[in-house]
Amino acid sequence: MLVVWGLRTLVCNVKSGKPIKGEVMIRVGIVGTGIGRLHANGYKKCQDVEIKAFCDIDRERAERCAREYGAKDVYTDYREMMNDDEIDAVSVCTPNALHAPVAIAAFEAGKHVICEKPIATNAEEGKAMVEAAKKAGKIFMMGFNNRFRGDTQLLKKCIEAGELGEIYYAKTGWLRRRGIPGLGGWFTTKSLSGGGPLIDLGVHVLDLTLWLMGNPKPTYVLGSSYAMFGPQLAKEQGGTYDVEDLACGLVKLENGATIFVEASWQSHVERERIYTQLVGTKGGAEFDPLRIYTDVNGNHADIQLQHPNLSGHEMEIVHFVECIRENKTPIATGEHGVHIQLILDAIYKSTETGKGVEIA
Ligand SMILES: NC(=O)c1ccc[n+]([C@@H]2O[C@H](COP(=O)([O-])OP(=O)(O)OC[C@H]3O[C@@H](n4cnc5c(N)ncnc54)[C@H](O)[C@@H]3O)[C@@H](O)[C@H]2O)c1
């Protein structure tokens, strides 16, 4: 049975791609010009938002972005950018180890912050960021872009309407057959990244799953990680590789539910696969295409839902701007970033000790 549902309102009240108009101009600075470009695309969707500056240690990259997106200023030192009193908000799009220093400098300078995933390289840094945001009284949003896709927004709405009942089990993963990003660079250097595919890809699917389940707090984690390919490849091609290339974990949550998560950059699997499977008392769900599995009058029913094709990357920025304008708490908060990071840290710790890790 195939039932087609229409999309009513989005959970986050984001209008599909329509520019958000405001009375006061919001000026933003973007630090880091890789994924920072996608943030810029999002700001371009918003009316009365000016991208005032780009900052990158690579001046040429920052200048290129400034030309393309019409920004007035270019910086190579983020601390200097924070002295610009006209900048209201900052996108933190640097390698992970810089998330905490850049975000904290922005809060101390009285700016709102959206920070790329993961929140930081460990939960302690993440907690310091949350504290700095509180002290400054500024908005702190995590760039968990998958929460802002058309399909995930719709499923969240269905879950809130009780369509799945109580979700007690979820399985989620992002496995690549081949796909180590920037071999030998910051992604594969633990002091700069905090970890490998778990912190790079696992963070996305874990966040999406926890959010759909209502963000129950993690209580216990058992995990393993392996580095079977990366170190040898780095030896042959140069550079550092001191992170895992596959990790998995079992996460128990305060409400008794369980999540299994897995992530790899390189592994002998058929092909790259990104999945999230939710199992509830009234129904289950998965993506691509978005489907709900349930029973109708004692018969199995597979419901395929129609949804708008929204770019999560752009819509998260539209939401960030909306939160600044309306002084709203974002859908993806710094606290959520810390909860995810506690799980990631615990999977790494569990690997080292060979034991389960309690999360207080
Ligand atoms: N949400 C997503 O889908 C997604 C996708 C990719 C990356 N990311 C995240 O975005 C962040 C950046 O990743 P990326 O893929 O853009 O990396 P990247 O290496 O392509 O870009 C990072 C940029 O930061 C610049 N940089 C480094 N140190 C800096 C400093 N001190 N000051 C200013 N700029 C500095 C680099 O020169 C580079 O241009 C990471 O946290 C990553 O996890 C998120």
Q: Which residues lie closer than 8 Å to 354 by C-beta, 6 or more apart?
A: none
In a domain, 1, yes or no: no
Q: Tell me: do 182 and 324 sit in the same domain.
A: no
pLDDT of residue 235: 95
Which of 54, 57, 114, 141 is the pocket-test mutation for ligand 1 (most atoms within 8 Å of CB)? Answer: 57
Q: Considering its fold, how many domains does the chain have in total? A: 2
Q: Tell me: do 230 and 323 sit in the same domain.
A: no
- Distance of CA 354 to CAs 202, 244, 282, 346, 358, Å? 20, 15, 36, 11, 13
Q: Tell me: do 131 and 167 sit in the same domain.
A: no
pLDDT of residue 14: 43
Q: Tell me: do 195 and 105 sit in the same domain.
A: no
Which region, left, alpha or beta, applies to residue 78 given φ > 0 means left and ψ of -120 to 50 means alpha?
alpha
35 C-alpha to center of ligand 1: Å?
Answer: 6
Q: Tell me: do 133 and 189 sit in the same domain.
A: no
The number of the ligand 1 atom at minimal distance from the alpha carbon of 35 is: 16
In a domain, 20, yes or no: no
Question: Counting every residue, how long is the chain?
Answer: 360
In a domain, 228, yes or no: yes
CA distance 352 to 254: 24
Q: Could you tell me if 257 and 171 are in contact, meaning their C-beta atoms sit under 8 angstroms apart?
A: no
Q: In sequence order, what are the beta bridge partners of 279?
A: 169, 284
| Residue span of the structural domain in which 30 resides | 26-144+314-329
pLDDT of residue 88: 98
In a domain, 19, yes or no: no
Distance between the two ends of the chain, CA-based, in angstroms? 45
pLDDT of residue 97: 98
In a domain, 206, yes or no: yes
In a domain, 2, yes or no: no
Q: Which residue's CA is the nearest one to ligand 1's atom 23? A: 32
In a domain, 281, yes or no: yes
Give the pair of three-digit tokens for residue 258: 């369980």
pLDDT of residue 24: 86
Q: Which residues of the chain have pLDDT under 70?
A: 1-23
Give the pair of three-digit tokens for residue 204: 């996305």
What does DSSP assign to residue 77?
-
pLDDT of residue 22: 63
Q: Tell me: do 207 and 167 sit in the same domain.
A: yes
CATH code of 84's domain: 3.40.50.720
Give ligand 1 pocket residues (Cβ under 6 A). Answer: 31-35, 55-58, 61, 78, 93-96, 98, 116-117, 143, 145, 200
pLDDT of residue 2: 33
Q: Which residues lie closer than 8 Å to 18 by C-beta, 6 or more apart?
A: none
CATH code of 212's domain: 3.30.360.10
Q: Could you tell me if 126 and 103 are in contact, meaning their C-beta atoms sit under 8 angstroms apart?
A: no
